[in-house]
Amino acid sequence: MALRAVFFDVGETLIDEERWWRVLSEREGLRPHVVWAALGVTIERGEEHTALWGHLGIEAPSTGWTTLEYELGDLYPDAISCLEAVRRLGLRVGIVGNQSAALEQWARDAHLPADVISSSASLGVRKPDPAFFSRVVELAGCAPAEIAYVGDRVDNDVLPAAAAGLVAVHVRRGPWGHLQPTPPEATFGLDDLASLADALASLL
């Protein structure tokens, strides 16, 4: 089947979360490098990112975690141009990741060039649950094999997307993207989004 839609993860795929993590760390009275070290432990152990607070011996933030928003300056330099390039291919563009309702609203208010914007908060299910990717298929309105899902995490994005029958694209950036090798299940492994449209063009 020819590709008809491309859906994107958010954190470390479209958004550079360095500032976000730094502000959150400072809100909790911690130095950013301490939090990043704990994040590395969670990645090595295959845990969800919220487990890092337990490694530091503190409770997860009660409000800051869900209300801290991104800024337009947090977008990777190639994010907008990639979304636009994919649209020019005639493909439906979606943005759906494990995000809070506040971050979903931020994406809407930012008027990102996408046809569909949603989040795990709206869908009521988080990656890597197969139900998340079933909802992506519903949002795309086409067959799984006609949808590409682009993300930085092998465990949350690439493997479950491929298992659901989607075209899985691994973006090797951010903590997970650098520490988790691109698996054979990925149709493409890219170091950035600048070359994504050209890669996807081969599937049209």
pLDDT 10s digits, 148-159: 999 999 999 999
- Residues 6+ positions from 170 with CB-CB distance below 8 Å: 151, 152, 154, 157, 158, 177, 182, 183, 186, 188, 189, 190
Calpha distance 195→85 (Å, rounded): 10
Considering 49, 67, 85, which residue would you say is the last residue of a domain? Answer: 67
**Same-domain check for residues 81 and 134:** yes
Residue with tokens 């993860």: 9
User: What sign has the CA pseudo-torsion 50, 181, 112, 24?
Assistant: positive
Calpha distance 163→123 (Å, rounded): 19
Q: What 8-state DSSP symbol labels residue 57? A: T
**How many domains does the chain contain in total?**
2
- Domain span including residue 51: 18-67
Examine the pLDDT at 20 and tell me if it is beyond 90.
no
> Taking all residues of the chain, what is their mean pLDDT, rounded to a whole number?
92
CA-based end-to-end distance of the chain: 8
**Same-domain check for residues 103 and 57:** no
DSSP strand pairing (116-119 vs 167-171): unpaired
**Same-domain check for residues 62 and 104:** no
Identify which of 154, 160, 174 has the alpha carbon closest to the alpha carbon of residue 39.
Answer: 174
Per-residue pLDDT reduced to its tens digit, 53-106: 888 888 877 655 556 678 899 999 999 999 999 999 999 999 999 988 888 998
**Same-domain check for residues 158 and 106:** yes
**Same-domain check for residues 167 and 179:** yes
**Same-domain check for residues 185 and 164:** yes
Type of residue at 91: L
Per-residue pLDDT reduced to its tens digit, 114-144: 999 999 999 999 999 999 999 999 999 999 9
**Same-domain check for residues 90 and 183:** yes
Count of helices and strands (H, E) across the chain: 11, 6
Type of residue at 66: T
**Same-domain check for residues 136 and 48:** no
**Same-domain check for residues 94 and 50:** no
**Same-domain check for residues 101 and 44:** no
Considering 27, 43, 67, which residue would you say is the last residue of a domain? Answer: 67
**Same-domain check for residues 95 and 193:** yes
162: CATH: 3.40.50.1000
Residue 47 C-alpha from the chain's centroid? 16
Q: What 8-state DSSP symbol labels residue 49? A: G
Identify which of 5, 2, 13, 3 has the alpha carbon closest to the alpha carbon of residue 158.
Answer: 13
Distances (CA, A) of 83 to 31, 88, 143, 198: 34, 9, 21, 12
Q: How many CB atoms lie within 10 A of CB 171?
A: 30
**Same-domain check for residues 24 and 11:** no
